[in-house]
């Protein structure tokens, strides 16, 4: 009987020790997960930022190559005919039929109004269509390149991934080229051919002003706003999918914006 009781106690001890080991292992895994997951999230975010930078460079390069080929920039005729500013920003207003509406981010939130003053407002969809020699968007709406009037040689200047929605990164069914977080790239093009550009958003003093003639994010103050020494500016609203004129370029919702000229 004594031997049986001892054996029973030893078995119970072994079972208890195994349970303790299991709890220790679970604890270690939880600690490691707490350390690894933030690192993975940060790495994923860094990868998206690098992708955005690459896509912005591709857009800028395509616009420059187009200009070298045609001696003009890919700004639709209906815009150049009524443009009253030195440059044009393909912003957050998207043409649907005869009117424009503000685009939304993947959360369904309406994006801030970023647009060059004027009667005709279009997003980067029209720019992308011209650069890709497209007469129609995939939703069957006609583009500004109808009858290939804006790209008569039918050259594809821009390689970009087509996606099947209007919330993913890539070129959506509406023709808008969106960043990896699902918001449209903002593109400003030198419309008066002076080699410099004033963006409809970053050109504002509420966003880029500093003391003297120097502006934030590498811009300089001139008559008409804050400009960059580049014929093409491309930028992303970043991970938060937002931007605001109620704060400067390096704070608040603007802090995570990604700029091609920096």
pLDDT digits (tens, 9 = 90+) for 58-103: 999 999 999 999 999 999 999 998 898 999 999 999 988 778 899 9
Please provide the distance, in angstroms rounded to a whole number, between the alpha carbons at the two ends of the chain: 83
- Percent of the chain having pLDDT more than 70? 92
How are the residues of the chain apportioned to helix, strand and coil, as percentages rounded to the nearest 5?
A: 35, 15, 50
Give me the pLDDT at residue 35, please. 77
Give the range of the structural domain holding residue 59, as residue numbers without chain letter: 48-259
**Which pTM was predicted?**
0.85
Whether residue 133 lies inside any domain: the answer is yes
Q: Is the pLDDT of residue 42 over 80?
A: no
CA separation (Å) from 87 to 82, 155, 187, 190, 192? 12, 24, 11, 5, 6
Give me the pLDDT at residue 137, please. 94
* Residues linked to residue 88 through DSSP beta bridges, in sequence order: 189
Whether residue 26 lies inside any domain: the answer is no
Give me the pLDDT at residue 13, please. 47
Give me the pLDDT at residue 6, please. 54
Distance CA 78, CA 142 (A): 14
pLDDT one-digit tens code per residue, 150-161? 999 999 999 999
Q: Is the pLDDT of residue 12 over 90?
A: no
Provide the pLDDT confidence category of residue 107 given band limits of 50, 70 and 90: confident
Provide the pLDDT confidence category of residue 215 given band limits of 50, 70 and 90: very high
Whether residue 14 lies inside any domain: the answer is no
Whether residue 22 lies inside any domain: the answer is no
Structurally, the chain folds into a number of domains equal to 1
**Of 19 and 138, the one with more pLDDT:** 138
């Amino acid at each position: 009987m004594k031997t049986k009781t001892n054996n029973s106690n030893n078995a119970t001890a072994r079972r208890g020790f195994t349970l303790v080991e299991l709890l220790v292992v679970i604890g270690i895994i939880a600690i490691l997960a707490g350390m690894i997951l933030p690192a993975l999230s940060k790495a994923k975010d860094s990868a998206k930022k690098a992708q955005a930078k690459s896509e912005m460079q591709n857009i800028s390069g395509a616009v420059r190559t187009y200009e070298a080929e045609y001696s003009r920039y890919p700004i639709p005729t209906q815009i150049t005919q009524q443009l009253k500013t030195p440059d044009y920003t393909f912003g957050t207003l998207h043409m649907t039929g005869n009117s424009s509406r503000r685009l939304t981010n993947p959360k369904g939130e309406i994006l801030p109004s970023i647009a060059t003053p004027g009667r005709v407002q279009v997003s980067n969809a029209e720019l992308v269509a011209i650069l890709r020699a497209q007469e129609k968007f995939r939703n069957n709406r006609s583009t500004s390149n109808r009858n290939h009037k804006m790209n008569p040689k039918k050259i594809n200047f821009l390689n970009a991934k087509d996606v099947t929605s209007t919330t993913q990164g890539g070129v959506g069914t509406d023709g808008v080229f969106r960043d990896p977080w699902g918001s449209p790239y903002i593109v400003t093009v030198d419309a008066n051919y002076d080699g410099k550009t004033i963006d409809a958003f970053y050109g504002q003093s509420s966003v880029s002003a500093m003391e003297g003639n120097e502006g934030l994010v590498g811009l300089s103050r001139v008559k008409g706003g804050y400009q960059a020494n580049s014929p093409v500016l491309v930028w992303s609203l970043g991970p938060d999918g937002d931007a605001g004129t109620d704060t400067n370029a390096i704070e608040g919702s603007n802090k995570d914006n990604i700029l091609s000229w920096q």
